[in-house]
Amino acid sequence: MIRFFTLLWVIPLLLGTVHANDPLADAIRESVSRVAPRLVRIDTIGGYEKIAGEFANDGTTTGLLMDAQGHILTSSFNFIHEPSSILVRFHDGVRKIAKVVATDSSRKLTLLKVEVPEKNLALIEPMSQPTLRIGQYVVAVGCALSIEEPNISLGILSGENRIWGKAIQTDAKISPNNYGGPLLNLRGEILGLCVPLSAMSDETTAGADMYDAGVGLVIPVADMLDSFERLKEGKNLESGLLGIGFGELALFVGPATIEEIAKDSPAAKAGLRKGDRIVRIDETAVDSAMDATIQSRRKYAGDTIKITILRGGDSDEIPFEIIIAPR
């Protein structure tokens, strides 16, 4: 993996550079100003120079202040080299040493913590969960280049339920310059956190090579907040294994009829069988194999999943509760 230095399209935040009659520019400036107190610049120092023979992406990245206790959520991308020191700079210029609390390897999120009196942090309001609309303008924000003038990339929200339901998609430029930074709407509401992700691999660096392909991936705010609350307990989160398969073609065009059951998997031990058709997962109706895959792969190891099936020609629904196993 090469070291990334590609600069995002930077829109300066200096008042004199923005045309007075440009409502889009004004909306962008206002949305970024609303989130600015939450932005932190993260510098990593030391650690391994290479991981598996490839350069580690050490240096500067972006984080999002989550509360007045000093919890900061960011991308795991800049921590694969296990830095010896992590230095956080806040919007007001205060610098603090941070420690890693825990990591979500499924969604590539890392939670940091700084020890600082609450009064020294900006008042952090609870995040809302704004409605997502395909085609709406969005703004990806990072401060790897400057905490005073965040780098900004404008685009649209181009997709939902990407990477097995874990991410939303934007054509706004996403790269190490804003990994760990927020994606905003034009009202300044946080839609999610920018990270590299891949449907083909769970490696921390997977998806980073897509930064110049018009495919930016973002953990939506609801999942981001769920991960944050779990990570605060100090326990790492990871993808889980259910142990069912639908076949390559059926995954995209067929119903959620189980074609394979992995031996000794949670699904096999619970009593699911080949030929069972999944009709509901938790409280969500399932119409296709893709629906079932998205709902199940969103879970973490240790989570309980409720699966309702139809078996054979029987019209009676059969419920199962299964604990997801680590991969």
Which pLDDT score, from 0 to 100, does residue 1 have? 39
Maximum mean pLDDT: which of 3-12, 179-188, 249-258? 179-188
pLDDT bracket for residue 57 (50, 70, 90): low
Task: Tell me the average pLDDT of the chain.
Answer: 86
Query: Model confidence at 121, in pLDDT bands (50, 70, 90)?
Result: low
How large is the average pLDDT for residues 191-213? 80
Q: Which amino acid is at 105?
A: S
Query: What is the pLDDT confidence band of residue 78, given thresholds at 50, 70 and 90?
Result: confident
| For the chain, domain boundaries | 15-37+125-231, 39-120, 240-326
Architecture of domain 15-37+125-231: Beta Barrel (2.40)
Secondary structure in 3-state letters for 125-155: CCCCCCCCCCCCEEEEEECCCCCCCCEEEEE
8 confidence band (pLDDT: 50, 70, 90): very low
Could you report the per-residue pLDDT of 127-173, keeping only the tens digit for each? 888 889 999 999 999 998 888 889 999 999 999 999 999 999 999 99
Q: Do domains 15-37+125-231 and 39-120 have the same CATH topology?
A: yes
pLDDT of residue 327: 84
Average pLDDT over residues 35-50: 84
pLDDT at position 206: 75
For position 245, what pLDDT does the model report?
A: 93
User: What is the distance between the alpha carbons of residues 162 and 166, in angstroms, rounded to a whole number?
Assistant: 6
pTM for the predicted model, two decimal places: 0.86
Of 254 and 273, more confident: 273
* β 71-75/60-65 pair status: antiparallel
Q: Give 240-326's CATH code, choosing from 3.40.50.10470, 2.70.170.10, 2.30.42.10, 3.30.1130.10.
A: 2.30.42.10
For residue 7, pLDDT over 50 is answered with no
Q: What fold, for 39-120? A: Thrombin, subunit H (2.40.10)
For 103, 119, 239, 281, the CA distances from 294, given in Å and listed in that order, are: 22, 42, 13, 10
Token duo for residue 264: 């000794």
Distance separating alpha carbons of residues 154 and 171, to the nearest angstrom: 8
What share of the chain has pLDDT > 70, as a percent?
87
pLDDT at residue number 56: 56
Per-residue CA distances from 205 to 44, 156, 174, 197 (Å): 16, 24, 14, 8
Among 51-60, 63-72, 185-194, 211-220, whose mean pLDDT is lowest? 51-60
Question: pLDDT confidence of 25, banded at 50, 70, 90?
Answer: very high
